[in-house]
Amino acid sequence: MFKKLKEKWNVGWLQFIFIFTTFAIGGSLCARIGNLILTYFLSESSIWYWIIYLPLITVLWPFCVLLISIPLGQFKFFTNYIKKMGIKMGFYKE
């Protein structure tokens, strides 16, 4: 599985490790920030917390991943990755 992704992204093993690290830290940071924002206004036991949480982290994720990609040297990869996602979702035109 990892070898297929590495070949699909056309990167070496070291860059592949940095990319996966960026995904992991960026996703965790996104979840943490979303939780901090919402617990200020709502309790986790509230159904509204979870209704708002999912769209909030969906919006926060690209920003968190781009922020983490800068110190790991993967900013160019993730700007292209997020742009491709936006094209597939219909937010950008090719």
What's residue 92's pLDDT? 73
Q: What is the pLDDT of residue 93?
A: 72
pLDDT digits (tens, 9 = 90+) for 47-85: 888 899 999 998 999 999 999 999 999 999 999 888 888
Rounded CA separation 82/47 (Å): 30
Nearest to 63 by CA among 38, 27, 24: 27
Which sequence spans correspond to the domains of the chain?
2-88
Distance CA 64, CA 85 (A): 15
Structure tokens at 89: 């979702």
What is the average pLDDT value for the chain, to the nearest integer? 89
Give the closest residue to 27 by CA, choosing from 73, 72, 58, 70: 58
Q: State what percent of residues in the chain have pLDDT above 90.
A: 55
